[in-house]
Structure 1
Amino acid sequence: MNAKITPLLEGQMYFAYVSGIAFILVGAYLSYRRRRVHPLLLLSISALSFSWIESPYDWAMYAQFPPGLPRMPSWWPLNVTWGGLPSSVPIGYVSYFVLPALIGAALGRWLSGKFHWRRPIVLLTVGLLVGFCWAFVFNAITGAHFGNFYYGYVIPGLAIFEGTKHQYPLYDSLAMGIEMMVFTYLLGRTDAEGRNVI
């Protein structure tokens, strides 16, 4: 594993910080304008609030990050990621979960309107597909394949590139797809006036 921070990894860290903060600020602004909490702010806070799960998830998935990454302090809750949890993870969760939810909600609304399909089913289906593809591109390609992190162990038969340092567990993408079903539905479900139902 590369001990240095690559330009790609550095770019991803900056993207995590900038986009995570931007989504929170935009959500706060929209909430202020509407005089009630906007779903974008709720989703951003939700993603930030469960970032603590990354450490036990990394431990369970045998994920390993390059040693050169800045890490969270040792007192961070459940800090069981090999070498410590990267410091960009908590705020990075906002963009990692909000961006595919926005893409899924927009695509789901468009498909529902164009083909007159039932919106709840379309949002859930599109959320699953967008979430799966998002995690696959982010975790399998820019993550494991480009060396931003590795999976030390995968369940045989449920991974691609099995037995190589670039192995990737497909159940990671499936888990993200299921989560995006919920987030896409929450952002894409609107009433007759175009307001989100939450």
Structure 2
Amino acid sequence: MILSGKYCPGDKLPSEAQLTRDHTVSRTVVREAIAALRADGLVEPRQGSGVYVLEPAAEVPAPFTNIDSARLSSMIELLELRTAVEVEAAGLAAQRRSPSQEERIIDALRTVTDANTSGAPSADADFDLHLAIAEATNNPRFCEFLQVVGPNSIPRRALDTASSEGSPHAYGAMINTEHDNIVTAILNGDEQGARDAMRQHLKGSQQRYRTLLRAAT
């Protein structure tokens, strides 16, 4: 009734006695309902006066729901955040990976490398490699972060190709080299090398987007 507008912000709700009669329930049920409404920020009991309907709180958007992958600035923001998280993830993966996780990383690397080499769409395979590295940290929060930002956080080939490399083949070869450097350092247990390689990979994407952003202004 509040959400439908029958009771508007500032209105006083009927008394407990009236609500028990209107809805054929006990006072305990009415009190529990009022407590639930209060917890949801819909009503406010006022001492000696009654229960009043509140203005609805402004809806807070869920994290990362307003990312526009078509906007260069939005992708730069996301890449900066990914860099802060994934550089450490690469170092932890080099330190903590298990043999089965190494195998998973190698399989993911092979898949994205084949896609880039053939010119096939590679965003999902690229994301899966980064997810495999996050899994190898053995800290589930890294995976949760990547799953929240999702595959749309992977730079788009068309943008990166247009920035400097000149052809899809050259861009794919460059990304394959960057991925290989990250994975090699992880498999060698080189924590700092893995961090450096991941930083170079993600910073490179940032720079290509910044180049396009400057060219568009």
TM-score range, shorter chain: under 0.3
TM-score norm. by structure 2 comes to 0.24
Max Rg structure: 2
Alignment TM-score, normalising by the size of structure 1: 0.26
Q: Which has the higher helix share?
A: 2
